Structure 1
Amino acid sequence: MSISIKNSIAILNATWIGINPDTTVDTISIDSRSLQNSEHTLFFALTGPNNDAHHYINDLIANGVQNFVVTFIPEECKDRANFLIVENTLVALQQFASYYRSLFHFPIIGLTGSNGKTIVKEWLNFLLSPDYNVIRSPKSYNSQVGVPLSVIAINEKHNLGIFEAGISTVNEMDKLEKIIKPTIGILTNIGSSHDEGFTNLEEKIQQKMLLFQNAAVLIYQKNSEVEKYISAKTNPFSWSYKEENADVFVFKKETENQQTTLFYTYKNNNYQLKIPFIDKASVENAVSSLMVLLYFGYESSVIQSRMEMLFPVEMRLEVKNGINNCSIIDDSYSSDFQSLKIALDVLESQNKFKKKTVILSDIFQSGFPNEQLYAKVAQLIISNKINRVIGIGETISEFKDQFLNCITFKTTADFIANFDKLDFSNESILIKGARSFQFEEIVTLLEEKTHETVLEINLNAISYNLNFFKSKLKPKVKIMVMVKAFGYGNGGLEIAKLLEHHKVDYLGVAFADEGISLKNGGIKLPIMVLNPENTSFSAIIQHQLEPEIYSLKGLHAFLKIAKQKNLQHFPIHIKVDTGMHRLGFEENTVDELIATLKGNSTVKVQSILSHMATSDDAKHYDFALSQIQLFDRLSSKIRNELDVKPIRHILNTSGISNFPEAQFDMVRLGIGLYGVSNDENEQKELETVGTLKSIISQIRIIPAGDSVGYGRRFMAEKQTKVATIPIGYADGISRAWGNGIGFVSIKEQQAPILGSVCMDMLMVDVTQIECAEGDDVIIFGESPTVSYIAQKLHTIPYEILTSISQRVKRVFYR
């Protein structure tokens, strides 16, 4: 891409105010944190319900970005860059993508549906790439923002596009159709996902069909409801299991070795095809892929040879603990230029170490000649400050000299053979490879070995929840996020890295060792220690942590050490007790506090805080107001008499929502970040962050009269199928959750817990569930939720989350 700012003005119908109208742009960005932003980036300052990118323009200019699409120019940025002023920056991004799409005239496949879009897209890329130079949506980039970013990645060497479009309500698909402009349409399965955005199923179908209003052909499972909305310009190309008048009639038969044989009739000829799946969804997705190959005119022998090699698609990028104190970014199922850019951004957002390594296979379907491609990849590596590149593949080996500190291997087997000669320790490692290179073997080598119970942490959900609460704040109100108790059980350092990436103002921990661990992990954000012991003050000073001071005894102890170390203006946080009666200076000690601090230059009052006891309980609304009023009075007194202007903060998560008038200078976000709210309506707005998963270790059938577990607390009244799950109270599962009170989810069905929860195992009733050993088990997540478990156990979600043992591996993913 090379488009001048002058041309962009006309494309966007924008007003230009700037310093150089002759500048050209070659990349588009919406992420202010990306290290790939440069002087030739056109940055769209998107504004959403939870965030406004205009706040980051000043920092972007300081980092060299010169071109912006904005709705207004921030005061401090005037006369410092090129600005294209528009009414709506998201609409402008979509207009830009629509214009850019119009420059290309090769076939474009557009996919939509409730389920299967990404899988069909990835399979079609695999099936068609031997014959086409394919550009496709990276990951699941199918939204109002993701689609334009996907389309803008097209270049002159591509000759086939595959883009997915996802909508959650009305009046969205028409915008995406103008950007994708598909010539070939595929409607995948229509299910219940995102039903809440539509009045009924018919409206949902009608809205999704708008993607195909100008397509030459539509591939779909024959359905009269769908056919009502097929445009007169569009040729239907249908398949069916039931209706023999479909263009392709399919009969499926499950065979041995987890395979399905498809018998299909097309143009009065009969064929058969084996695929390596038996589940309903995968078979449907395979049929959609088959239909494309038939439409493109492939021979049945080619169809068979390619489709028998279809594979499960990994839908997400995972962050895992590795050997020798390494962190692994596992993106081992695809290798293309666009997804490499995304993966490098994730590596930076999750990087814990000074050293960064990328293990990279040959890159396919970039659309660029190899010389140009690997020059671009090398520039990405430089921009992202990668210390070492390990290349695997014939082609990347030829371009080894493009990279600094690069070693290469011709095959994955060569790498594995030399693994013991390579040093991997105290570094972040991005593993990025095309499926044919089988980089999952490399992940297995580098991954820390733990048992099969894992707590999966959705980093996208954390980002969403953070922005949800930030959207409730008044301008210039700061935000402290609590990462104490190992990030409420979710993992402290990884979440702290993400929060630092999102530029929160402060982190809060309970004890000094938690803060020291974060600092040793590379966190540079200021960290407040809420419950510092006097014996930890020296370590707090050494690691540049900031202590909460809540008593005269503690203040005198800290001042003594501060004086011995000749400190000047070391930040401390003064806590006042306004009614919680846990920690803090009471009103009758505030005068002595002021007298002690007056004229003392060894410390600086960085903030004054208090803690609300009943911010989540409407019954105690008046008490909460009295706390706020007392805090205002005491903190104002301290400020005035010391002549200082510290940050003031009293609100916790529920306080942010229930007492917006008391935001003062900062708020403290805690469990809300992790997707838990005391308010039912607010809970619906938050995304689930943690999913505790395990597997079925063993299944047995016991007769009536037999018992299960210690103490024979479950006695079978009838023949019962029992599954054993390798998780117990040593992992944090309360024993009170057993004996039929609790359940786990298997195949989206509830399996009641039988008898007592053991130290390392629990047993469940799966009599009514079709399942097998090795199947996934959800301990908590979407069902049961942490809040539901807490309610049944007469406790609070905090206790459930923080009880999960650190022997349970945390897996972070996007």
Structure 2
Amino acid sequence: MTIDTLHTYYLKCESVCTDTRNINKNCMFFALKGGNFNGNKFAKDAIKQGALFVIIDDPKYKINDQYIIVDDVLIALQQLASFHRKYLNIPIISLTGSNGKTTTKELINAVLSSTYKTIATKGNLNNHIGVPLTLLDMDDTTEIGIVEMGANHKQEIEFLSTIALPDFGLITNFGKAHLEGFGGFEGVIKGKSELYEHLKSRKKTIFINQNDALQLKQVGEYNQVKIFGSKTALLDHQPFIAINYNDQVIKTNLTGSYNYNNVSTAIALGEHFKVSTNAIIKALENYTPNNNRSQIINQKGHKIILDAYNANPSSMIAALSNFKQLHDLNKVAILGDMFELGETAQTEHQHISDYANNLNLQHVIFVGENFYDITSKNEDSSYFKTYDDFKDSFVSYNFNHQSFLIKGSRGMALERVLDLI
């Protein structure tokens, strides 16, 4: 079946689904396959639960005309999404980066949705499946699309760009994330910059913060670059950041001075799309982070900065630096392992341990095998090989009116610490 014909079927549906546990009535179900499952086997269930059409790539599961056969379900999903993106022909903003992608995407969406009908990536569905699903969530009422792109190896951003075909793009930063897949920091720069190379090949617009010399170097003499940051200044971060913008103060609900660049990016996109200053300020002041991303939680007399969604060496240093600068007393950092660092894992965990121990916090607690296995430990800090070991010892600390920073990679699930406090 051709993609344009598949698109006519898609237009008859109300949504797209890939999981029979979340079937919507009159959706188009894509029977994706994985290492441990075959979506074709669930096509019949999808129809029973209300799917209008199911896309399969094994003819033996076809029962009637509601079952549409393609050569490869995943490729069909990706091709359909790109076709639909061209069909809508609306402005698409794409962003990637080592840290702050999802927060920046949410801030941009908050600003632009004040004035336009926008569709943005849900959560962090930013991979080879999530990007197509985001595009297929857009319809003829959508005025601007915002697509987050994640990657852990080279050529991934290049591939996602060919699906989304962005008109505008930005990279939040280059940091030490997914070093194993990218082959080191230089590989991170090259891999993330694939977005810029794609935009340059199509003569599209790149947004870059004026303070990011490394990114400015990457774009070279390309003339469709919008430099931003001159209209904003960080005023405070105790604990929430306040920003001067056009001689007005924006009081955000974001902690961490590192979020200043994320807010500046959202302002730049808002200005480009002619969102009023008042609407920009209101949107940024009303935005509240969630999902374990730099949340401030007051619990049983403690102040908790919960930043347990993910971690890498760059974001860990930024979070610790911000934590040190807070005026709070009785500060305790609980830090979990960082993953996907490959051969640099021990070196990077040693560096974070050394950095944290030199901040003169009341106490630092390290959780995970990587931190436990470093060669040089601070005798005044605590190192636990497993979360269960840490959990069993937690009550012995007898913490009272502390300020906590809780940060680690997603696999550590350090939000569980909230149940201990």
Would you say same fold, with TM above 0.5?
yes
Q: What is the CA–CA distance in structure 2 between the aligned matches of 1:232 and 1:72, rounded to whole Å?
A: 50
Q: What is the CA–CA distance in structure 2 between the aligned matches of 1:189 and 1:97, rounded to whole Å?
A: 27
1:111 alignment partner, SS class: strand
Letter in 2 for 1:33: R
In the alignment, is the contact (CA less than 8 A) between 2:111 and 2:279 conserved in 1? no
Large movers: runs of 4+ above 6 Å: 231-234, 449-454, 778-785
2:376 aligns with: none
In the alignment, is the contact (CA less than 8 A) between 1:744 and 1:780 conserved in 2? no
In the alignment, is the contact (CA less than 8 A) between 2:157 and 2:195 conserved in 1? yes
1:312 and 2:273 matched: no
Deviation at 1:305, TM superposition (A): 5.1
Letter in 1 for 2:242: T
1:205 and 2:192 matched: yes
Letter in 1 for 2:160: L
Q: What is the CA–CA distance in structure 2 between the aligned matches of 1:292 and 1:150, rounded to whole Å?
A: 20
TM-score normalized with structure 2 length: 0.65
Q: How does 1:196-275 map to 2 (within 5 A)?
A: 196-199=180-183, 200-210=187-197, 212-213=199-200, 214=202, 216-222=204-210, 223=212, 225-227=214-216, 230=219, 235-239=224-228, 248=230, 251-254=233-236, 258-262=240-244, 271=247, 273-275=249-251
2:43 alignment partner, SS class: helix
Letter in 2 for 1:217: T
1:25 alignment partner, SS class: coil
Give CA deviations for 1:611-668 in whole Å, capped at 9, x if unaligned.
Answer: xxxxxxxxxxxxxxxxxxxxxxxxxxxxxxxxxxxxxxxxxxxxxxxxxxxxxxxxxx
1:175 alignment partner, SS class: helix
1:42 aligns with: 28
Deviation at 1:286, TM superposition (A): 0.9
Q: What is the CA–CA distance in structure 1 between the aligned matches of 2:71 and 2:134, rounded to whole Å?
A: 23
Q: What is the CA–CA distance in structure 2 between the aligned matches of 1:249 and 1:10, rounded to whole Å?
A: 49
CA distance 1:114–1:297, shift in 2 (3 Å): same
In the alignment, is the contact (CA less than 8 A) between 1:698 and 1:724 conserved in 2? no
1:762 aligns with: 397
1:11 aligns with: 3
In the alignment, is the contact (CA less than 8 A) between 1:219 and 1:237 conserved in 2? yes
Deviation at 1:59, TM superposition (A): 3.1
Larger radius of gyration: 1
Q: What is the CA–CA distance in structure 1 between the aligned matches of 2:203 and 2:382, rounded to whole Å?
A: 51
CA distance 1:47–1:698, shift in 2 (3 Å): same
Q: What is the CA–CA distance in structure 2 between the aligned matches of 1:759 and 1:196, rounded to whole Å?
A: 33
In the alignment, is the contact (CA less than 8 A) between 1:73 and 1:83 conserved in 2? no
In the alignment, is the contact (CA less than 8 A) between 2:92 and 2:145 conserved in 1? yes
1:152 aligns with: 136
Q: What is the CA–CA distance in structure 1 between the aligned matches of 2:90 and 2:286, rounded to whole Å?
A: 26
Percent identical pairs in the alignment equals 20
In the alignment, is the contact (CA less than 8 A) between 2:30 and 2:77 conserved in 1? yes
Choose from 23, 27, 50 the match for 2:15. Answer: 27
Letter in 1 for 2:46: L
Deviation at 1:239, TM superposition (A): 3.5
Q: How does 1:356-505 map to 2 (within 5 A)?
A: none
- Ranked by relative contact order (alpha carbons within 8 Å, sequence separation 6 or more), the top structure is 2
CA distance 1:63–1:91, shift in 2 (3 Å): same
CA distance 1:809–1:261, shift in 2 (3 Å): closer
Q: What is the CA–CA distance in structure 2 between the aligned matches of 1:47 and 1:170, rounded to whole Å?
A: 23
Choose from 98, 118, 123 the match for 1:139. Answer: 123
Deviation at 1:78, TM superposition (A): 4.1
1:285 aligns with: 262
In the alignment, is the contact (CA less than 8 A) between 1:744 and 1:778 conserved in 2? no
Give CA deviations for 1:359-387 in whole Å, capped at 9, x if unaligned.
Answer: xxxxxxxxxxxxxxxxxxxxxxxxxxxxx
1:191 aligns with: 175
Deviation at 1:453, TM superposition (A): 12
1:143 alignment partner, SS class: coil
In the alignment, is the contact (CA less than 8 A) between 1:173 and 1:211 conserved in 2? no
In the alignment, is the contact (CA less than 8 A) between 2:243 and 2:249 conserved in 1? yes
Q: How does 1:635-646 map to 2 (within 5 A)?
A: none
Deviation at 1:782, TM superposition (A): 6.3
CA distance 1:23–1:310, shift in 2 (3 Å): closer
2:383 aligns with: 743
TM-score normalized with structure 1 length: 0.36
Counting matched residue pairs gives 345
Give CA deviations for 1:458-510 in whole Å, capped at 9, x if unaligned.
Answer: 9x99xxxxxxxxxxxxxxxxxxxxxxxxxxxxxxxxxxxxxxxxxxxxxxxxx
Deviation at 1:171, TM superposition (A): 2.3
1:122 aligns with: 106
Letter in 1 for 2:30: F
Deviation at 1:313, TM superposition (A): 1.4
Deviation at 1:56, TM superposition (A): 1.9
Deviation at 1:30, TM superposition (A): 0.8
2:70 aligns with: 86
Deviation at 1:146, TM superposition (A): 0.8
Give CA deviations for 1:326-364 in whole Å, capped at 9, x if unaligned.
Answer: xxxxxxx9xxxxxxxxxxxxxxxxxxxxxxxxxxxxxxx
Q: What is the CA–CA distance in structure 2 between the aligned matches of 1:22 and 1:763, rounded to whole Å?
A: 58
In the alignment, is the contact (CA less than 8 A) between 1:70 and 1:89 conserved in 2? yes
Structure with the larger helix share: 2
1:93 alignment partner, SS class: helix
Deviation at 1:283, TM superposition (A): 0.8
1:138 alignment partner, SS class: coil
1:773 aligns with: 402
Give CA deviations for 1:503-530 in whole Å, capped at 9, x if unaligned.
Answer: xxxxxxxxxxxxxxxxxxxxxxxxxxxx
Deviation at 1:52, TM superposition (A): 2.2
Q: How does 1:605-754 map to 2 (within 5 A)?
A: 699=330, 722-723=362-363, 742-743=382-383
Deviation at 1:71, TM superposition (A): 2.3
Deviation at 1:208, TM superposition (A): 3.8
Alignment RMSD: 4.8
In the alignment, is the contact (CA less than 8 A) between 2:47 and 2:54 conserved in 1? no
Deviation at 1:149, TM superposition (A): 0.9
1:280 alignment partner, SS class: coil
Q: What is the CA–CA distance in structure 1 between the aligned matches of 2:101 and 2:86, rounded to whole Å?
A: 24
Q: How does 1:327-346 map to 2 (within 5 A)?
A: none
Unpaired runs of 5+ in structure 2? 311-327, 332-359, 366-378
Give CA deviations for 1:581-632 in whole Å, capped at 9, x if unaligned.
Answer: xxxxxxxxxxxxxxxxxxxxxxxxxxxxxxxxxxxxxxxxxxxxxxxxxxxx
2:57 aligns with: 71
Deviation at 1:229, TM superposition (A): 5.0
Q: How does 1:489-528 map to 2 (within 5 A)?
A: none
1:578 aligns with: none
1:413 aligns with: none
1:203 alignment partner, SS class: helix
Give CA deviations for 1:198-234 in whole Å, capped at 9, x if unaligned.
Answer: 1323322333434534363211124555346549886
Q: What is the CA–CA distance in structure 2 between the aligned matches of 1:453 and 1:254, rounded to whole Å?
A: 18
In the alignment, is the contact (CA less than 8 A) between 2:182 and 2:191 conserved in 1? yes
In the alignment, is the contact (CA less than 8 A) between 1:107 and 1:161 conserved in 2? yes
Letter in 2 for 1:699: N
Deviation at 1:784, TM superposition (A): 12
1:500 aligns with: none
2:236 alignment partner, SS class: strand
Unpaired runs of 5+ in structure 1? 1-8, 15-20, 241-247, 264-269, 318-332, 334-443, 462-696, 701-719, 726-738, 746-752, 765-771, 786-803
